[in-house]
Chain A
Amino acid sequence: MGEEMKVIVFKLGAEEYGIEVDKVQTIERMMPITRVPKTFSFVKGVINLRGVVIPVIDLRGRFGLPEAEYTDQTRIIIVVANEMEVGFIVDSANDVIDLDSDSIDSPPDVVGGVKAKYLHGVARISEERLLVMLNLSEVLNRNEIIQLESLEG
């Protein structure tokens, strides 16, 4: 048995991703975003989160997925990593699960291994359900905007 951990589960398209709960500050419904000019296209702007100005990025855009319309289900997950506070726009976020750290396998080797960078690993929740664990510090590494292809299998 490895360590027990709690993970926030969110969706981008059909896939489910996980972020350790202690990295997540809050989950907010969609709110007005102020556009910031002259920056990456996936940076949607800044929001006012109870008096603090926080940049938000569209995680679909960050991973090179086609951007989607915002719906009732769209959420902004505020994460804290590397002393940065950033909001992630995701399709939905509605689950917290307990995970055994042993059940996380190292990310699959894909040609070039580029997309693996953003991942901590893949957790198998059930036979059909796989959860992609995000490597936040890499996702927030703004020096690098590399397309992450959709992960299969």
Chain B
Amino acid sequence: MDMNQYLSMFIDESNDHLQSLNENMLELENRPDDLGIVQVIFRSAHTLKGMAATMGFEDLSSLTHQMENVLDLVRNEKLKMQEFIFDTLFQSLDALQSMVQDITQGGEGKADVSSIVSSLQAIVRGEEPGGKQPKQEEKESASFNESAIHLDEFQFSVLDQSITEGHKVLYIEVTIRKDCQLKAARAYLVFDLLERYGEVVKSYPSVQEIEQEKFDRSFSLYYITQKEAAELKSLILNLSEIDSAEVVLLDHESLTELNSGVNEAAAASAPAPVEKKADSAAPSSADKKIPAKEAARPAAGSAPSRTIRVDIDRLDVLMNLFSELLIDRSRLEQLAYEVKRSDLTETVEHMSRVSSDLQNIVLKLRMVQVDSVFNRFPRMVRDLAKSLDKKIDLIITGAETELDRTVIDEIGDPLVHLLRNAVDHGVEHIDERVAAGKPETGTVKLRAFHSGNHVFIEIEDDGKGIDRDKILQKALRNGVVKESEAASMTDEQVYMLLFAPGFSTAEIISDISGRGVGLDVVKTKIESLSGVVSIESKLGQGTKFSVQLPLTLSIISAMLIKVGTEKYAIPLSSIVETGLIQRNQIRKVHGYTMIPYRDTHIPLMSLSELFSVPGFDESAEEETEIVVVHKGDRLAALTVEDFIGQSEIVIKNLGKYLPSIQGVAGATILGDGQVALIIDPNAFIK
């Protein structure tokens, strides 16, 4: 499986967890009896282990696993925190940190952690470290880790199969003369020669390390060929400055034996590197430092990858440059239209087509499946449910829905909040559920889907729902709402109170949610992503939080319209339709202007009045162009003077100096170089 896409997320999260581990460990050192902190540490270590194991960083996960064992004992009060335990745990943290660092820099996250692992094991066994027993174990595991040339399962099966198919599998060890100046070059010649007649499956040190002369005098490798061993040997020896070459033909047994990691086998066929390794490993494990680079095993067979990782900044630059291009494109289109030369028009049209394709690709480059956020939720919900003693099924649908990378990066936290909320406050305890005639196991549905220019993410539980009266009481107590307003508020308005700062209806404050920070943060965060969050709920049946997010943050389709001399852009995503109405259709209802639309009446607003456009008055017109816009289910019509057309526009902000203006979402630059304001119709619909 290709893990590349998760790698950066893994790195980020690992760093977060390491950070919190460090902080909490420090706090624990001050208050060694506080088991609550141990819980937190345990949880972090646990998450880290899970992530590392999924990503295939075995050293990382095995070390965290050992830490977990220790912490588990502490947590269950079977072990008291002592000075040396702290030391060892901190050492482990440092080791973890350097491994994650290594991964960040493109490494494999390998490190020799055997000494720390054995210290941790000793702690679990109830021994103080430094005794003889752990020492011995250190040796053992160290030498195991360092064994000459370790094949992974895949490579082993390749070799094994080659033998079965009648190819010759050779173990070759080449030693270069002592006085050789350019070891890497010699080694290269050997590889070059070998690759002419067969395939090198694995070498030790790895090819990269050999190229960088990171080897002593000899290197060994597994090789598949049709040539005879003796012939190859003489070919290798024919190269200059080669001291000796061992070529051993392998069969099934010797291959297994060689790979079993048994020291003798490795030592017999490749004495030099093992000795060298053992020498360097012993002192370093003695002083309990991690020889991070030393222990780096040869890179696991680099599977051909069809993806590359690109710095997100570069994508942002690409996006910006593309936006510039888009502005010029509209300008060119305009010019070509004015000049009316057919060859120019053709070229411009072609360029437009190419650039639309380009735009799709650039936008796609930034798209990430929400799965990368969702995939950590099942575990989270499981753990949460466990700790709350509830039974909950998390059903995820639409994980393949794609969202802009910037949105993905930001949406994780709010969703975690909402999910925790659903698990903690939404779904009831088992006995409550049974009493209410519901199945013991609650369901939380996490759903993502596309709709128009937006992506919706919904979190729905089948829990107790939101109690309108409870919220209102609380809101009245907090002074968020006045008594006079309370009665006239719609259910939805009441639910939205949950997002008010400092508001929490949970009677018992658990460590999961209910501290009243959270939901307002969720709302702020989602709004900062130009998203909208809403709540639907039925008492006793469940609650649905719905988050609406824009597909992308910088380029949108919009309808350009004209009012007087001014041009505005209305995002296509909020337009229901455009139309024409007769003046006499307009009704005045209780001070509002309404027009009939389909089966109902919807409010009509004049854009020129809203924006006090000078020198334009539509009241004299017989017929008026309208744009019907929507916010959720609610509709409204805006009168405009004329439609210009549909266009892809680049959203620009108005600069920091201007305060945010109601009804204006930003600005864009039109084909003629003029700035047009982008209308935010949501602001007009209450």
Chain A interface (Cβ < 8 Å from any Cβ of B): 32, 34-39, 43, 45-48, 51-55, 57, 82-86, 140, 142
Contacts of A140 in B (CB 8 A): 657
* B632-681 residues at the A interface, CB under 8 angstroms: 652-659, 661-664, 667, 669, 673-677
The answer for the CA separation of A107 and B662 in the assembled complex, in Å, is 38
Evaluate contact between B661 and A53: CB separation under 8 angstroms: no
Known: A55-B657, A85-B655, A86-B655. A32 touches B674 (CB 8 A): yes
Residue in contact with A53 in the complex, picked from B611, B614, B654, B662, CB distance below 8 Å: B654
Q: Which of B610, B662, B663, B667 contacts A46 (CB 8 A)?
A: B667
Write out, one digit per residue, whether chain B residues 600-644 have a CB within 8 A of any chain A CB (1) or not (0): 000000000011111000000000000000000000000000000
- Is the C-beta of B34 less than 8 angstroms from some C-beta in chain A? no
Q: Is the CB of A46 within 8 A of B675?
A: yes
B27 within 8 A of A: no
Size range of the interface on B? 20 to 34
Residue of A with least CB distance to B565: A35
Instruction: Flag if B661 contacts A48 (CB, 8 Å).
Output: no
Report how far A151 CA is from B614 CA in the complex, Å.
34
Q: A43-B658, A142-B659 are in contact. List 18 more A-B contacts (CB 8 A).
A: A34-B667, A36-B661, A37-B661, A37-B677, A38-B663, A38-B664, A39-B658, A46-B654, A46-B655, A46-B667, A46-B677, A48-B675, A51-B324, A51-B669, A53-B652, A53-B654, A84-B657, A85-B657
Determine whether B79 belongs to the interface, using a CB cutoff of 8 Å to chain A: no
Please tell me if the beta carbons of A37 and B611 are within 8 angstroms of each other in the complex. yes
Chain B residues close to A by CB (< 8 Å): 323-324, 327, 566, 610-614, 652-659, 661-664, 667, 669, 673-677
Q: Which listed residue (A32, A38, A52, A83) contacts B662, Cβ 8 A?
A: A38
Known: A47-B675, A86-B657, A142-B659. A35 touches B566 (CB 8 A): yes
- Give complex CA distance A47, B669 in Å: 9
User: For residue A37, which residue of chain B has the nearest CB?
Assistant: B611
Question: In the docked arrangement, what's the CA distance between A34 and B677, Å?
Answer: 8
Pick 18 A–B contacts, CB within 8 A, sort by A: A32-B673, A32-B674, A34-B677, A36-B654, A36-B677, A37-B611, A37-B613, A39-B661, A46-B655, A48-B669, A48-B673, A48-B674, A51-B669, A52-B652, A55-B657, A55-B658, A84-B657, A85-B657
Q: Could you tell me if B669 and A55 are in contact, using CB atoms closer than 8 angstroms?
A: no
Measured between alpha carbons, how far is A129 from B103 in the docked complex, in Å? 66
A134 to B323, CA, bound (A): 36
- Are B659 and A39 neighbours in the complex by a CB distance under 8 Å? yes
Least distance between B657 CB and chain A CB atoms (Å): 5
A47 to B661, CA, bound (A): 17
By a CB distance below 8 angstroms, the chain A residues around B657 are 55, 57, 84-86, 140, 142
**How many angstroms from the CA of A85 to the CA of B656 in the assembled complex?**
8
- Per the bound structure, the CA–CA distance linking A46 and B677 in Å amounts to 9
CA distance in complex: A53, B677 (Å): 10
Name the prevailing secondary structure of the A interface residues. strand
B323, B655, B663, B664: most-surrounded residue (chain A CB, <10 A): B655
Q: How far is the CB of B647 from chain A (nearest CB, A)?
A: 16
- Interface residues of B, dominant DSSP: loop
Cα(A111)–Cα(B595), bound, Å: 57
Q: Are B659 and A53 in contact (CB under 8 A)?
A: no
Cβ contact within 8 Å between A84 and B655 = yes
B611 engages A55 (CB within 8 Å):
no
Q: Which 5 residue pairs spanning A and B have beta carbons closest together?
A: A37-B611, A34-B675, A53-B652, A84-B656, A53-B667
Chain B residues, Cβ within 8 Å of A83: 656
Cα A35 to Cα B611 with chains together (Å): 10
Would A36 and B655 count as touching, CB distance under 8 A?
no
| B325 → chain A closest CB, angstroms | 10
Residues of A within 8 A of B673 (CB): 32, 48
In the assembled complex, which residues on chain B have CB atoms less than 8 Å from the CB atom of A55?
Answer: 654-655, 657-658
Interchain CB contact under 8 A, A53 and B653: yes
**Contact at B664–A37, with CB atoms within 8 Å?**
yes
Residues of B within 8 A of A45 (CB): 675
Q: How far is the CA of A63 from the CA of B653 in the complex (A)?
A: 26
CB distance from B48 to the nearest CB of A (A): 38
Chain A residues near B611 (CB, 8 Å)?
Answer: 37-38
Neighbouring B residues of A46 by C-beta, 8 Å: 654-655, 658, 667, 675, 677
Tell me the minimal C-beta distance from A109 to chain B in angstroms.
30
Q: Which residue of A34, A54, A86 contacts B676 across the interface (Cβ within 8 Å)?
A: A34
Quote the shortest CB–CB distance from B41 to chain A (angstroms). 40
Listed residue (B324, B327, B675) with the most chain A CB atoms within 10 angstroms of its CB: B675
Closest to B610 in A: A37
Q: How far in angstroms is the closest Cβ of chain A from B661? A: 5
Query: How far is A110 from B527 in the complex, measured between Cα atoms in Å?
Result: 46
Identity of the chain B residue whose Cβ is nearest the Cβ of A34 in the assembled complex: B675
Q: Which residues of A contact B675 (CB under 8 A)?
A: 34, 45-48, 53
A76 CB, min distance to chain B CBs, angstroms: 14
What residues of A have a CB within 8 angstroms of the CB of B659 in the complex?
39, 142
Residues of B within 8 A of A36 (CB): 654, 658, 661, 664, 677
Complex Cα gap A45–B658 (Å): 9
- Residue of chain B at shortest CB distance from A46: B675
Q: How far is the CA of A126 from the CA of B664 in the complex (A)?
A: 48
- Residues of B within 8 Å of A32, CB to CB, are 673-674
Bound-state Cα–Cα, A47 to B612, Å: 19
Report A-chain residues with C-beta under 8 Å of the C-beta of B664.
Answer: 36-38
Cβ of A53 and Cβ of B327 under 8 Å apart?
Answer: no
Q: Which residue of B lies closest to A52 (CB)?
A: B652
Interfacial chain B residues near A37, Cβ < 8 Å: 610-613, 661, 663-664, 677
